[in-house]
Amino acid sequence: MLLGAVALITGCVTVGYYAQSVRGQWDILSRSQAISDVLDESDDDARLQDKLKLVLEVRKFATEALRLPDNGSYTRYADLGRPYAVWNVFAAPELSLVPQTWCFPVVGCVVYRGYFDREDARRFASSLQTRGLDVFVGGVPAYSTLGWFADPILNTVMGYADVDLAGLVFHELAHQLVYVKDDSVFNESFATAVELEGVRRWLQSKGDEARIAAYRERKRRDRAVVALILRHREDLARIYGSDRDAAWMRREKHAVIADMQRQFTALTASWPDYDRFRAWFSTPINNAKLVAVAAYQDLVPDFEALLDGLDGDLGRFYGEVERLAKLDKVARTKRLKRRLVSEAVPDPGRQLALSRRRSTACESAE
């Protein structure tokens, strides 16, 4: 879900990209106003009032109970007049799952490139397609500037369920706590793990056992769908790593994706009220789209195992994550994987789940 607007502002690739980045970020900041002022002015919009009050509640919980940064982020509101804050472009070769990356000062290399205008994103995606790359454009309702600005809560997330809105705040504040250059998977998986743990603790604080049970069931279903996607991604990786010719790989690629879609239909047949992945599966699936899922999920269970191994102590957990962040990419991933195997068995209620906006790049195919 992280866009990394700082990257957009400080690390433009072209003058045009720089210009749209500055304009887009300035537009968001200029539209924002204190939530307390909005509450005073929006008496006729009860739903908006309820959601903004909830944001202030979970913002306080994030600081007091989750030890997340206490600053001006998510104390302001901005109506952008559009359904998404930005549109992220993902790309990967036709016969590889190694993502295209873009590198910027401050935030390092990331596996997507963000645009504040949908048409700009589409044009860039088209230019990548002409190079033979698989491309995916996903609408992103919110992002973090990593504490460089006081990020406002946006109209783009006001339709979220309460648990998802709370999770969004926890997720984005986690990015402000720990961020590692050149490692999107580490950053997104850490923030997603904090998000899931934060929502669990927030619901427990309210003593709402029914909502806790419903949340855990939804996450169980999410976990099953993500596992299905990752299994098929592994099948594709084996195909692409073979010594067979390109024509054979293309046939196998289409067969694996078709099988994944069939299995999703079968898996969710008994879940009539479950729609969190239906849009994702209903639009064309390619390597770039699978990269977007991987960026949010690969290390989530490892971070959860680390937290469980520390008896749920968030202070110690953040300290250990900061130490991991100082290692090189290979070393930190190995350290996390070792902990998953040897130190802890995660609570079933806090396992791998696809981030809501997070996916957000996975929720909307443009």
Q: Cα 225 vs. chain centroid, distance in angstroms? A: 16
Tokens of 222: 């999410």
Tokens of 93: 């070769």
Share of the chain above pLDDT 90, in %: 65
Confidence of residue 109 (pLDDT cuts 50, 70, 90): confident
What is the residue-wise DSSP string for 291-317? HHHHHHHTTHHHHHHHHHHTTT-HHHH
Nearest in space to 35 (alpha carbons), one of 199, 170, 155, 160: 155
- Residue 5's pLDDT is 43
CA dist., res. 115 & res. 33, Å (int): 23
What pLDDT, in 10s, does the model give residues 297-347? 778 889 999 999 999 999 999 999 999 999 999 999 888 887 554 443 344
User: Any idea which residue has 């109970």 for tokens?
Assistant: 65
Share of the chain above pLDDT 70, in %: 87
User: Any idea which residue has 């690969």 for tokens?
Assistant: 298
Q: Cα 212 vs. chain centroid, distance in angstroms? A: 22
Tell me the residue length of the chain: 366
Q: Which domain holds residue 296?
A: 1-366
What pLDDT, in 10s, does the model give residues 133-159? 999 999 999 988 888 899 999 999 999
What pLDDT, in 10s, does the model give residues 195-221? 999 999 999 999 888 888 888 898 889
Contacts for 327 with CB less than 8 Å, ≥ 6 apart = 335
CA dist., res. 56 & res. 204, Å (int): 18
- Burial (CB < 10 A; 0-12, 13-18, 19+), residue 270, is exposed
Q: What is the 3-state secondary structure (H, E, C) of 173-231?
A: HHHHHCCCCCCHHHHHHHHHHHHHHHHHHHHHHHCCHHHHHHHHHHHHHHHHHHHHHHH
**SS3 state of residue 101:** coil
Tokens of 211: 């909502």
What pLDDT, in 10s, does the model give residues 51-87? 999 999 999 999 999 999 999 999 999 999 999 999 9
Q: Which residues pair with 90 in a beta bridge?
A: 136
pTM summary value: 0.81
CA dist., res. 342 & res. 365, Å (int): 39
How many domains does one find in the chain? 1
Is residue 3 scored above 80 in pLDDT?
no
- Residue 360's pLDDT is 35
Cα angle 284-255-242, degrees, rounded to a multiple of 5: 110
**Buried-exposed string 64-90: b where 16+ CB fall within 10 A, e elsewhere:** eebebeeeebbbbbbebeeebbbbbbb
φ, ψ of residue 86 to 5 degrees: the values are -145, 170
Confidence of residue 8 (pLDDT cuts 50, 70, 90): very low
Of 31 and 362, the one with more pLDDT? 31
